[in-house]
Amino acid sequence: MAYGFAGYIGVAREVSWGSAVAATDFVEALNENLTRDIDRFDYKNIIGTMATPDDIAGINRYKGTIAFAVNPVNFGYFLMSCFNTVSISSVTSGFTWNHRYTQPTTSNSAFSSDAPSLPLTVDIFRDVTTAVRYAGNLVSALTLSFNPNQEVRATVDLIGRSDAFTAKVTPTFPGSPAKPFTFDTCSISLGGAASALFESLTIKIDNKYDGIPTLDGTTYVNKIRRTSFQSVTIDGTVDFTNMTEYVNFINQTQQALTVNVTKAASYAMTVIIPNMVYTSFPLGMRGKDRITVGFNAKGFYNSSSGTGISIDLTTTKSYY
């Protein structure tokens, strides 16, 4: 009998895409569903019977999600795999560093010719005999959720290349800080001014990655490519107290959105979307209850900052 509470998830950066390495850090996750799917293809139709004929196994594909509380010590791996563009500066000499992740502007920002961003090996033990080591994982999408009475939650959509069994190890989870970022240190500004309108907020960065198989003598994808722009979408709920944001929706006003969370000992994360515009702001009264608005928005490229989104992570790691 297997239990999720007895499992673990480990992560490490790869030197080259698909070359698995042992886990160096471990994540206290909420749930995961990383798995292998196998394509199948038909090769005959006219067979003289109504019975379904056999087919042939094709490409192995690895996809899935991991949801976890954002701890400032290990979150940089996933940010680097999402953006692959970072500038690092010292905050406190020998103790804390600031990592600023921004959108890549050209294909020259890619990790390699095989992978647009940093590949990760992900080890998952599911409380049955051995762990599974998934190689060549890229963060295809990253979602950050900010809600009252909740940790700052990340959900990463992964796309990978292969898997193999590996021996179970004893995980070592972050000890300083042991706790993740939480809602009670979250502050939001909109259009350069502090705002207390937001009751929930979700930000999603979507790389739109796809695994590309080639005629290379294997049943694994040979490379990962983008299918479109890296997009930034924002969803949330605001208190309906005046017409200001509805007018901003009508006028399609672009305004900066900044979200900041902190922890003791100078740990911090700041998300900046310099050009946010509402795509929907539906008004309505559901009945006698207090009126709120569930909105949708997009983030666009800003020529002054050179990005459509930036995420600053201040942590004790100098490199991911």
Residue 293 and residue 282: Cα distance in Å, rounded? 6
pLDDT digits (tens, 9 = 90+) for 138-179: 999 999 999 999 999 999 999 999 999 999 999 999 998 989
Instruction: Say if residues 137 and 120 touch (Cβ distance below 8 Å).
Output: yes
**pLDDT for res 179:** 94
Residue 196 and residue 238: Cα distance in Å, rounded? 9
Residue 106 is encoded by which pair of tokens? Answer: 């050209």
Residue 156 and residue 305: Cα distance in Å, rounded? 25
**pLDDT for res 105:** 83
Q: Is 155 exposed, middle or buried (0-12, 13-18, 19+ CB in 10 A)?
A: middle
Average pLDDT over residues 185-213: 97
Residue 300 is encoded by which pair of tokens? Answer: 């666009």
Instruction: Say if residues 55 and 40 touch (Cβ distance below 8 Å).
Output: yes
Instruction: Say if residues 69 and 30 touch (Cβ distance below 8 Å).
Output: yes
What backbone torsions phi and psi does residue 132 show, to the nearest 5 degrees? -110, 130
Q: pLDDT above 70 covers what percent of the chain?
A: 100
Residue 197 and residue 201: Cα distance in Å, rounded? 11
Could you tell me the pTM of the whole model? 0.96
Please provide the size of the chain in residues. 320
Residue 317 and residue 71: Cα distance in Å, rounded? 12
Work out the mean pLDDT of the chain and round it to a whole number: 96
Average pLDDT over residues 16-31: 98
pLDDT digits (tens, 9 = 90+) for 83-114: 999 999 999 888 999 999 999 887 778 999 99
- What type of residue sits at position 268? A
Average pLDDT over residues 48-59: 96
What one-character-per-residue DSSP string does 182-234 give?
BGGG-EEEETTEEE--EEEEEEEEE--EEEE--SSSSSB--EEEESSPPEEEE
What backbone torsions phi and psi does residue 181 show, to the nearest 5 degrees? -60, 145
**pLDDT for res 94:** 87
Banded model confidence at residue 264, pLDDT cuts 50, 70, 90: confident
